[in-house]
Amino acid sequence: MFETLKEQPADKILALMQMFADDPRDHKVDLGVGVYKNAEGVTPVMRAVKAAEKRIWEQQTTKSYTGLAGDPAYADAMIELILSDAVARANVAAVATPGGTGAVRQAFELIRMANPKARVWVSDPTWPNHTSILNYLGIETKSYRYFDSETRGVDFDGMIADLNTAQAGDVVLLHGCCHNPTGANLNLVEWQAVVDLLNARGLIPMIDIAYQGFGDGLDADAAATRLVASSVPECLIAASCSKNFGVYRERTGLLMAVAADAGKTKLNQGTLAFLNRQNYSFPPDHGARVVTTILTDPELRADWAAELEEVRLSMLGLRQQLADELQRLTGSDRFGFIAQHRGMFSRLGTTPELVEKLRADHGIYMVGDSRMNIAGLNSTTVPILARAIVDVGV
C-alpha cells in the first residue's frame, strides 16, 4: 500500500520555517511564519494566559471529555468577543476546533456536505492552506482579484467585477481583518458594498478571522465580521485564538454557523458536532479553557487586552519605522503602503527572484510571494531590512 503514495507538495510557509532553522548565519532574520515575536525575538506566553493556566491547574479536578462541541462556555465567550451583540446568540451554532485551520477545514466540509456544487471563491492571493485544503477536499475553487500590485492596496473594482460572476449558492471566503498574506484590507464602505453584492447574488460568506486585535483594535477588527453576520441570511465564521492569545500550539479555534432564523440553529449545531465526531471526536480543551478563563474574568480580560494592544502598537511602530527608513533611503513614498497595511503581514509586491536574493545575500526570510511577517522585525533589524530591500533593487 505505502508504495502507491506520492510525494505531497511541501507547505511553502512551513518549508521556509525549516530552511530558516537550518541556516547557520547569525544575522539571519525570520519574516516567514505568522508568529508574533517581541523585540527580543521571543514569542512570549501572555501574562493572562499564564495566570489562567495557573488557575486551571489549581482548580481543575477532571480531564474527562467535554462535549463534541467543546465547552459551551468557550463558544459563548468567543461569540461575544467576535460578534458582540451583532446577532442573537440563539442564531449561532458553534463548535470548538483544533485551531483556526480546524475551523476552516470543518467549514469546508460543511459546505461540501450542504451543497456539493458550491464553488468557493478565494481572494487572489489568499492563505495558501485555504486552497490546499479545498483542493484536498475536491471542492472547486475560484479566485477573485484582490491585491493591486501597483498600489499594494485592494483592487476593489476587480474584486467586485469577479464576484459579480459568481453563481447563487457559491461561497465567498473573506478575511475578517488583517488580510493574510497581503496586509491590504477593505474599508467599511467597501465591506458594505460586498455585503450588498452577496445578498443580491445569493452568495454565502465564509469569514476567516485569525488576527482580531492585530489591526486596528479588538472591536474595529471585528466590525466587518459583525456587519456581514448581521446583514446576510447565513454565514460561516472560522476563528483562531492562536495569534491574539498567543496559544499557537494549543490548537484553539471556533467554527460558527450563523443563521438569520434561530430555528436553523439546532440542525446547524448537530451538523457541526457530527463533523467534529467524524474528524477527531472531541476538540482540544486546554487552550479553549484558558481563553474562556481570560474572557470571563474582568481582570484577566483587561490585562490580556492591554498586552494585545501593546503587541498591536509595536507592530504599527515597526511598520512606520520601515516605511520611514525606506522613504529616507529611496527618497520616494513608494513604500508608504507598509504603514497603511494592517496585521502581521505585508506583501512587499516583488518577484520570487528578489525574495530569493534577500534570503541568499542578506539572510532575510520572507515567503516567496514577498509576504513579510512584520512581527519578525525589531528596531535593529528594520534598517537592515530596508537597506537590503534597496540593495537587491525591489
Residues identified as active-site: 127, 208, 210, 243
Distances (CA, A) of 252 to 16, 170, 224, 231, 321: 24, 28, 22, 27, 33
What is the rounded distance in angstroms from the CA atom of residue 318 to the CA atom of residue 323? 8
Q: Which is nearer to ligand LMR, 232 or 308 (CB)?
A: 308
Least Å from the CB of residue 56 to ligand LMR: 25
Backbone angles phi, psi at 350, to 5 degrees: -125, 180
Least Å from the CB of residue 234 to ligand LMR: 26
Footprint on residues 163-222 left by ligand LMR (CB under 6 A): 180
Of 36, 146, 79, 33, which is closest to residue 288 (Cα–Cα)?
79
Q: Which is nearer to ligand LMR, 156 or 365 (CB)?
A: 365
Of 294, 245, 235, which is closest to residue 55 (Cα–Cα)?
294
| Strand (E) or helix (H) holding 304 | helix 298-330
Q: Which is nearer to ligand LMR, 133 or 228 (CB)?
A: 133
What is the rounded distance in angstroms from the CA atom of residue 281 to the CA atom of residue 289? 17
Q: Which is nearer to ligand LMR, 14 or 168 (CB)?
A: 14
Beta bridge partners, 184, equal: none
Contact 180, 214 (CB under 8 A): no
Verify binding: residue 127, ligand LMR, rule CB under 6 A. yes
Q: Which is nearer to ligand LMR, 129 or 182 (CB)?
A: 129
Verify binding: residue 36, ligand LMR, rule CB under 6 A. no
Work out the angle between the directed axes of helices 218-231 and 72-83 (0-180°, nearest 10): 100
Least Å from the CB of residue 236 to ligand LMR: 18
Footprint on residues 43-82 left by ligand LMR (CB under 6 A): none
Least Å from the CB of residue 180 to ligand LMR: 5
* Total binding residues toward ligand LMR, as defined by CB under 6 A: 6
| Strand (E) or helix (H) holding 303 | helix 298-330
What is the rounded distance in angstroms from the CA atom of residue 98 to the CA atom of residue 232? 27
Q: Lay out the site mask for ligand LMR across 6-35 (x = CB under 6 A, - = otherwise).
A: -------x-------------------xx-
Per CB under 6 A, residues contacting ligand LMR are 13, 33-34, 127, 129, 180
